[in-house]
Structures are given as structure tokens and as C-alpha cells.
Amino acid sequence: MSSAPLKIGYCLSLSGPLGENGRSARLAHELWREDVNRSGGVLGRPVELVVYDDHGDASLVAGLYARLLDVDGVDLVVGGYGTNTILPAMPLVMERGRFFVGLMGLGVNTKLAYDRYFAMIPTGPSPSSGLTEGFFEIAAAQEPRPRTVALLTADAEFARNPVIGAHENARRYGLEIVAHESYPLTTHDFGPILKRLAAVAPDVVFVCSYLADSIRIVRAIAEGGLTPKLVGGSMIGPQSASVKTALGPLLNGFVNYEYWLPVPKMLVGSVGDLMKRYQSRAATEGVDALGFYMAPLAYAQMQVVEQAVNATQSLSDAALADYTRRTTFDTVVGPVAFGEGGEWVHPRVLQVQFQNVRGNGLEQFADARAQVVITPGDWASGRLAYPYESAKPR
């Protein structure tokens, strides 16, 4: 390999409210870097990752990307994790005309329509509705059919698009939204909010929350007083090992989205090996012990960049974007092709329900038995326990 490293720069929320997920992505990226350098690097050059912590503070992001480009002189930039990190980077990225692959940003490019942006998130061509449609589809298929929905959502940038999708899908599936409670991320006591929701007795409660507030919300609902037939939908948190073990049986009955789980159809190619290596290093790296949520997509994000550069033999942003628009990539999560707005051509969001969780041990979450895949049908591993009361902890 040439002695001059090929530098890829980005920022991640390695601390702050999404730090657990950011650190998980960082380990997956490091595993990719080790793999690619072992096989000769990219363009014959060893890859170096230049990563800054944005602390979950969107106001820092633009300055960090300016530093990466103007001071560090990185060859390529990629998007960090989530809407809160990717969206504030976009004005500078667009101004500089950079090729940009973001990780799990929901609907970042819907209004911007930047033709060099690509989204490593399986929500498909309509990302806001794609994330939440499975939840509402499940609700509409039940007997007796639920009629009303209440929304419980964080007052934060990341919640904006899921809420738009919830409204769209409620209309699509003939469900009436009867209440919407939006809370600040500083909320610790959800009792008063749940009391207000209980007063309208919604059949379905759609929740869009961060990691810490997901824990508080699940505990508050499990304590009683609010008895929906279906609850969950768009919660960031239940995917993480620390949240799973903190809540244990309190998660029973909750339905939520996932992007990858170790169900047979998803154990394709080298993803099984990746997860073994990730989990073997998770403890010493201080990251999520399972890695199901972040690691496969974070590794695939870097594979897209690697394959585009090697195929074009170029670091030209225009050439990389043109190639990415017309190519199906071979990744650890299977084939990935990008369509309009840089979103996936084919959506693949799972809706899973926690069932038969006993105690707080991590081992029960090591496979998909405690998280039953309900939709899409091709990946389904069980059936919905309905209503929520029939599956919730006694």
C-alpha cells in the first residue's frame, strides 16, 4: 500500500443522548477499516478515519465538517449517525459539492433534494411513512379493529419526520388521531402526560422517543392507568442492549421498529461473522453488547463508499455520486440500491414485538426469540400478541 493514508472524515454523537448508538457505529466503522486495510486499503492506500464527537449538539456539526475539510484535509466525508447530525452538515456538504453517505438519517434529503446524498437506512422511497407504516398496518389488521390513536413524541428534530409519517399512515389505515402530547427531552415524570392520554382512552399509542425517555415511558405505561390495545412504533432505545436489560419484562407487548435482527433470512453473507467480531469487542470498547441496531448498517455504509471508490478508481465527488445512483451494492445487509433522493429503492423496516421476556438477563436477547418479527411477512417469525394487555407483565 502507498504510505499516504486515504482519510475519511465525519462526526458522530459519541456522547450525549445518542452516545450509546454513536459508539456502536464507531466500532463497526473501525472493524470495516481493519478489514479493508488488511485487504490492501482503498486505491492502494491505507484508510484512516478522522472522527469528532459532536456530543449530540447539532450546533457543532457544521464547524466540525468545516474543520475536517479545511484543516484536516480529508479525502472523503460521510454522514454521522441520525438526523440530528446529518441534517446540519448538509448546507456545507452541498456548498462544497461533496459525495455524502449518511447513517440512519430519516428523510434528511426530502426537501433538500441534493443529488450527491445517499441514505443508509432501509425506510425506502418515502422514508417518513416507511418507518411507521408497519405499525399502523398491524393495528388496522386486528380484530376488534382499533379506531383511535394518540401520539406521544419527543420535542426534537429526530421526531419530526416520524410524526409526519404517523399522520400519513393513520389516515391511510383509517385511524383517527385523538391526542398528541409532545414532551421536552428533559422530562423525567411521564405520569401527568399519560394521565391526559388515558382521559381520551386511545386504542393505539404511538411513541417516538430517545433512549433515556424510552425507559421512563415504558416504566410509566407498565405501571398502569393507560391501557391501549397496541403501543410502541418509533422508539429509539428498545433496540439497545442496555435498555433491554434495564426494562426486561416491562417490554413485553411493546411493538417497535428494527432494521436488522438475527432471523434466518437476514443472516446472509458475512454479517454473521461481523456480528461475532463486534460482540467479542463490545465489552472492552464499552459499546452496545449486541450491536444489532447499529453495526450492520454502519458497516454497510462504509462498504458503499469503498465499492464506489474502487469501482470508479476515483475520489471525484461527481463520479462517486453518479456511480452510486446506478449501482446495486453488495453489503453485509444484502443488496442495496439507491433511488430518488438517495433513499433505498426497496424498503425493509421490521416491526417486532417483545414477548415472553423473563428477568433482565441479556442472553435472552441474543437471538430473535424474545423479539418476534411481525412484519414484513417474508421475515416474520411469529404472531402479534393482541391486545397489549395480553402480553404486558403481570
Q: How many CB atoms lie within 10 A of CB 14?
A: 22
pLDDT (tens digit per residue) in 1-12:
557 999 999 999
Whether residue 302 is predicted with pLDDT greater than 70 in this model: the reply is: yes
Q: Is 307 exposed, middle or buried (0-12, 13-18, 19+ CB in 10 A)?
A: middle
| pLDDT for residue 210 | 87
| Mean pLDDT computed over 215-231 | 94
Instruction: State mean pLDDT over 228-236.
Output: 96
Residue 106: name the closest of 287, 278, 236, 291 by CA.
236
Q: Quick: pLDDT tens for 269-285.
A: 899 999 999 999 998 99
Please state, as a whole number, how many other Cβ atoms lie within 10 Å of the Cβ of residue 210: 19
- Whole-number percent of the chain with pLDDT over 70: 99
Mean pLDDT of 369-379: 90
Where in the chain are all domains bearing CATH 3.40.50.2300? Answer: 6-122+266-342, 127-258+355-390
Nearest Cα residue to 368 out of 229, 239, 212, 279: 239
Q: In which band, very low, low, confident or very high, does the pLDDT at 160 lie, cut at 50, 70 and 90?
A: confident
pLDDT given for residue 53 in this prediction = 98
The percent of residues in the chain predicted with pLDDT above 90, rounded, is 89
Sheet with strand 47-53: strands edge to edge: 47-53, 6-12, 76-77
Mean of the pLDDT values across residues 124-137? 95
- Write down how long the chain is: 394
Provide the pLDDT for residue 39.
95
Q: How much is the pLDDT for 79?
A: 98
Per-chain mean pLDDT for the chain: 95
Instruction: Please tell me the predicted confidence (pLDDT) of residue 1.
Output: 54
- The per-residue pLDDT for 393 is 62
5, 49 in Cβ contact below 8 A?
no
Verify cis geometry, omega within 30 degrees of 0, for the bond prior to 249. Answer: no
Of the options 3.40.50.150, 3.40.50.2300, 3.30.365.10, 2.40.100.10, the CATH number for the domain spanning 6-122+266-342: 3.40.50.2300
| Residue 367: pLDDT band with limits 50, 70, 90 | confident
| Confidence grade of residue 343 (pLDDT, cut at 50, 70, 90) | very high
What would the DSSP string read from start to end of 179-198? EEEEE-TT----HHHHHHHH
What distance in Å separates the CA atoms of residue 129 and residue 73, rounded to the nearest whole number?
Answer: 38
- Is the overall model pTM greater than 0.85, yes or no? yes
Q: Comparing C-alpha atoms, which of 9, 7, 68 is closest to residue 42?
A: 7
pLDDT value for 18: 86
Position 265 scores a pLDDT of: 83
Lowest mean pLDDT among 146-160, 169-183, 329-343: 146-160
pLDDT digits (tens, 9 = 90+) for 25-45: 999 999 999 999 999 999 999
Alpha carbon separation from 186 to 53, 212, 393 (Å, rounded): 22, 10, 27
Q: Give the residue-averaged pLDDT of 154-163.
A: 88
Tens of pLDDT, residue by residue over 34-93, are: 999 999 999 999 999 999 999 999 999 999 999 999 999 999 999 999 998 999 999 999
Q: And the C-alpha cell for 121?
A: 437506512
**Amino acid in the structure at residue 107:** G
pLDDT at res. 318:
98
Task: Please compute the mean of the pLDDT values over residues 336-354 and round it to a whole number.
Answer: 96
In this structure, are residues 75 and 308 in contact, taking their beta carbons and an 8 Å threshold?
no
pLDDT bracket for residue 24 (50, 70, 90): very high
- Read off the pLDDT band of 225 (50, 70, 90): confident
Measured between alpha carbons, how far is 16 from 22 in angstroms, rounded to an integer?
A: 9
Q: What was the pLDDT predicted at 176?
A: 98
CATH number for region 127-258+355-390: 3.40.50.2300
Name which of 231, 218, 219, 252 is nearest 142 in CA terms.
Answer: 231
CA–CA gap between residue 394 and residue 389 (Å, rounded): 9
Q: Determine the pLDDT at residue 369.
A: 86
* Mean pLDDT along residues 191-198: 96
